[in-house]
Amino acid sequence: MKIGAHVSIAGGVQNAPLNAAKIGCECFQIFTRSPQGGKAPVLDKATVKEFKANCQKYKLNNYYVHTPYYINLASSNNRIRHGSISVIKDDLERSSLLGVKALMTHLGSASDVGQNAALQKVIEGLSKVLTGYRGSTQFLIEISAGSGRIIGDSFEEIGAIIQGVPCQVRDKLGVCFDTCHAFVSGYDLRTKAAVEQTLEKFDQKIGLEKLVLIHANDAKKDLGSHIDRHEHIGLGKIGQVGFRSLLNYPRLKNVDFILETPPDGNANDIKILKDLRT
């Protein structure tokens, strides 16, 4: 288990390992392009070589990529849906060039179609993303906060999506468990007993072997509120007891923790998580 945070790529992805090392990261997460849109920066051989050299220099062997925020595999608009598939495919190839361990995405919203139709579109989209993919970076579905008609806010839904993709690509799929998203979606994480019960439910509906990464974010809003607002560790509704229980849950000992808390206190949040890890 390694602990780190999402860091900036300002000036180029090669700067990300330096930014990660400055705040005490043991692993880190980045975007490889603007999360809001626009053309992706070229990853030429020199940039990739410098990025990997900096990772080696600071002994950062595990690093992750988040897709842009505008991904929507459930949209009824073909331009948006097919564009999302194209961006995810491209991000997987870019991540493989960099030696990224896993890439995660939000699935999108069912706001303009029915829930069943939206799920089917997501399954079809993921199948297109993964069919023919031969890269080294694993693809992860991130659990959502469930506001509006967002897809993927329950273990049952994520499990159904994974089971819905063709069996020949199913092994390429994993899950990113965001603590804030899960909590505001109704999964309690405030006590050791609650953490154990929630992870047992995850194991029953998805399988803990599919849990590849944890986004460690405290929550500003209440259990089941469906309001996605990240808070510094211990200052939100989950609290340090919950994070201690997650960090020391035996079956998570090989799962990395990435912080997406406000950047003004990332270094302190990393220290807190390291202190809670035994």
pLDDT at 216: 98
List, in order, residues 6 or more apart from 170 with CB less than 8 Å away: 162, 163
**Averaged in consecutive runs of 10 residues, what is the pLDDT profile of the chain (278 residues)?**
97 97 98 89 96 98 96 92 96 97 94 83 96 95 87 94 94 96 97 98 97 98 95 98 98 97 92 96
pLDDT at 99: 97
For the chain, domains (ranges, CATH) are 3-276 (3.20.20.150)
d(CA 55, CA 13): 11
Say what the pLDDT of residue 222 is. Answer: 97
Q: Is the dihedral of CA 271, 272, 275, 278 positive or negative?
A: negative
Structure tokens at 251: 């079956």
**Per-residue pLDDT, 267:** 95
pLDDT at residue number 116 = 86
Position 265 scores a pLDDT of: 87
In degrees rounded to 5, what are phi and psi of residue 95? Answer: -65, -40
* pLDDT for the residue 148: 73
Supply the pTM of this predicted model.
Answer: 0.95
User: What pLDDT shows up at residue 255?
Assistant: 98
Check residue 36 and give its pLDDT.
86
Query: H-helix or E-strand containing 118?
Result: helix 115-130
CA angle 153, 261, 2 (to 5 degrees): 90
Q: What is the pLDDT of residue 122?
A: 95
Between the CA of residue 202 and those of 128, 217, 255, what are the distances in Å?
26, 18, 15
